[in-house]
Structure 1
Amino acid sequence: MNLKKRNIFLLLFVPILAYCEFSDEINSRLYGTAVDLVSASKPIEDSFFTPNFVHMQVAPDNSLRLALRAPFYDSGDIARPYLTVDDAGHGVLHIDVKRQLQIVGKKCEFQRQLVIQIPAQHWQKLNDLALYNHNTDDAAGSSMPISDRAYLHAKQHESVQQVAWEKLTESQSC
């Protein structure tokens, strides 16, 4: 009887652990197109909230690279982001934290900085791009009209200026 209980426990518990470990990959493939998470910071505590999309640049391989800060409630690893696109070319970039097995939940709000890269064959078909944070159940910010080349050029220029300003202020600090 003890062996039967153990097997039943394993049949119930192993799929839960597998889902916690691989749910981001499963979701990114089921619901959209997986995109690359280039980097993700640890939780940034005691920081002021900045706009969700911080920097945007078209890389030499024509992929779109977004550096963004977004609020999160959980401090776990960032799940693989994915992109969904409707028939009208409206894209949504989905971000989340990997599922964790928690007995007691603790809700704290802090920021994370993510760098996400979207291949050219995916972002160049879009009319606009929005961000959806599943961890906070929030459509973060407004949609960006990335098919508008003037908008895209202005955002890239703004990103270059912002990086230059950050480097200038860093070098002047004592």
Structure 2
Amino acid sequence: MRGLSDKRAATPAVGIVLIVAITVILGGVVGVFAFGVVDDLGEKPTFAALELTFEEEPASAPDYGKFRWELELTNRGGETVDADEIVVYLDHGNQRVTGTLNRSLRAGETVELTVVHNNQGGNTIPGDVNCADVNVACRLAGDEANYPDDDQIRLQMIHEPSESTLYREQISISGEYGIFNGNPSDIDITDETLTFA
């Protein structure tokens, strides 16, 4: 009888050792996971008050001077956005206009990009813009042979440090004009980088 009793006495001790070992292992796994999540969250954008809008000023040929696309980026409130944090892509077919910031964007501030028609003669450019401005692309064409056959543009806003997409939308356009894809006799322009101002 005594020998049987001694064998039973070892069972609680083994159980306690197993419980302690499992607790330590689970604690380690949870700790690694928790620190990994915290590190990952640290790279995400901490602001959520950025607003990106697109507006088309439609027209019909030959009134090309009214052809205009406007992009506005507004910080509605909260943290200041650093210049290197945000990039905006405006895609029309295989054509792209990229917008970047060259300064911080504080709460309440709005910056913009403008894309207008340019027939190279200069008489179709609206009087309030200049093709040499950092935030103006004179790339709109009114001849369907000179721009992608797509009645939508895609607008994206990316947080560069985390590569997170903050905004993405397909937007219908009139189809009367679009981003000029270059002269076949010259090097095609497929991407132009502007600065919001």
State TM-score, norm by structure 1: 0.33
More contact order relative to length (CA 8 Å, sep ≥ 6):
1
Greater Cα radius of gyration, structure 1 or 2? 2
Higher relative helix content: 1
